[in-house]
């Protein structure tokens, strides 16, 4: 009888030990909520990495996250609304919009994004929208907003369809000899701008700084604006440029009056002391010749180079 009791006792001890190990393993595999930390600093989220033609990429749009929260919208091309929904973005803190220029592939989804923000808002919204002054066929940014959202505008109802909102526009200088200036300063968050040149369409580049990290957005620009870009992007953590053409003579001549060739972009990144380079606004021709495009850029710029894609999220190093 004693032998049977000893066997049973041993079995119970083994079972207890095994249960303890399994329980301990299960606990070890479960993340501790105390160990989870909120992302801090700057991040870039690409909502659209394409251009004006429909070929499967969203048109140009980016979101800058500050300490994990989407805060700044940079351009709003077609697809921004859909991609933000796919990614489940919480736009509650988004109140700054930076428009590089008013071509359709950079601005057409602005009403849709504003509507999404308003329908989910828990409090009053105050949008601050910055963009270029007008010239020729293109209205100023304030006129553009007026035609969309103010009394008699195409989407006048927008301001009454969700949370109460105000939309304040600021027109930025478009002459290449205009000085660089700061347009946002809030604690550790700063935004600076400078004029660029994109054919007959007024355009502006932006630099977003938070603590010691920075992202510079070149937008669409031709080579005449390179000196301004180099000044604005000096030692920036991440420079976002639009590689919309291959080196000449690979594209129609007119495109070089609107965009900067890869070799020149690489030279500008090197001259500015840029730390990381992101290529966006990518058409099919550039996709097909990506090896040649990267080779042209890397002939001058030796830092990391990444090609953008819709949904790409980049943590910006300090």
Q: Does a structural domain hold residue 174?
A: yes
Is 11 inside any structural domain? Answer: no
What is the per-residue pLDDT for 295?
Answer: 96
Contact (Cβ atoms closer than 8 angstroms) between residue 205 and residue 214: no
Tell whether 286 is covered by a domain.
yes
Question: What pLDDT shows up at residue 318?
Answer: 77
Q: In the prediction, which pLDDT does 38 show?
A: 52
Q: What is the pLDDT of residue 163?
A: 78
* Domain presence at residue 29: no
**Residue 263 maps to which CATH number?**
3.60.15.10
pTM of the full predicted structure? 0.86
Residue 16 belongs to a domain: no
Give per-10-residue mean pLDDT for the chain (318 aa).
Answer: 40 37 30 43 96 91 96 97 94 95 98 91 91 98 97 92 89 97 96 97 98 97 97 98 94 91 97 98 93 96 97 92
Residue 123 falls within a domain, yes or no? yes
pLDDT computed for residue 14 by the predictor = 35
Please check whether residue 4 lies inside any domain of the structure. no
pLDDT at 161: 83
Q: Does 13 map to a domain?
A: no
283 lies in which domain range? 38-315
Phi, psi of 295, rounded to the nearest 5 degrees: -65, -40
Q: Domains in the chain: how many in total?
A: 1
């Amino acid at each position: 009888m004693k032998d049977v009791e000893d066997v049973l006792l041993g079995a119970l001890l083994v079972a207890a030990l095994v249960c303890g190990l399994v329980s301990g393993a299960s606990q070890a595999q479960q993340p501790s909520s105390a160990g989870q930390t909120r992302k801090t600093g700057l991040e870039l989220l690409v909502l659209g990495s394409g251009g004006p033609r429909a070929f499967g990429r969203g048109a140009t749009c980016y979101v800058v996250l500050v300490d994990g929260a989407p805060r700044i919208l940079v351009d709003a091309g077609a697809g921004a609304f859909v991609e933000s929904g796919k990614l489940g973005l919480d736009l509650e803190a988004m109140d700054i919009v930076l428009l590089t220029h008013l071509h359709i592939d950079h601005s057409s989804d602005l009403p849709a994004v504003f509507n999404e923000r308003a329908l989910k808002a828990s409090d009053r919204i105050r949008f601050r929208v910055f963009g270029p002054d007008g010239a020729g066929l293109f209205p100023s940014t304030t006129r553009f907003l007026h035609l969309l959202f103010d009394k008699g505008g195409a989407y006048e109802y927008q301001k009454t369809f969700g949370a109460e909102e105000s939309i304040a526009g600021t027109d930025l200088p478009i002459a290449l000899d205009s000085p660089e200036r700061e347009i946002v300063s809030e604690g550790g968050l700063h935004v600076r701008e400078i004029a660029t040149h994109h054919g007959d369409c007024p355009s502006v580049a932006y630099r977003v700084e938070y603590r010691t990290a920075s992202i510079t957005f070149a937008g669409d620009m031709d080579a005449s604006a390179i000196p301004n870009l180099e000044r604005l992007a000096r030692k920036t953590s991440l420079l976002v440029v639009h590689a919309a053409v291959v080196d000449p003579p690979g594209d129609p001549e007119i495109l070089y009056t609107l965009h900067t060739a890869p070799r020149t972009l690489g030279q500008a990144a090197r001259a500015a002391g840029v730390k990381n380079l992101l290529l966006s606004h990518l058409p099919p021709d550039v996709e097909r010749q990506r090896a040649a495009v990267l080779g042209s850029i890397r002939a001058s710029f030796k830092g990391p180079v990444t090609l953008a894609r819709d949904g790409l999220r980049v943590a910006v190093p300090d």
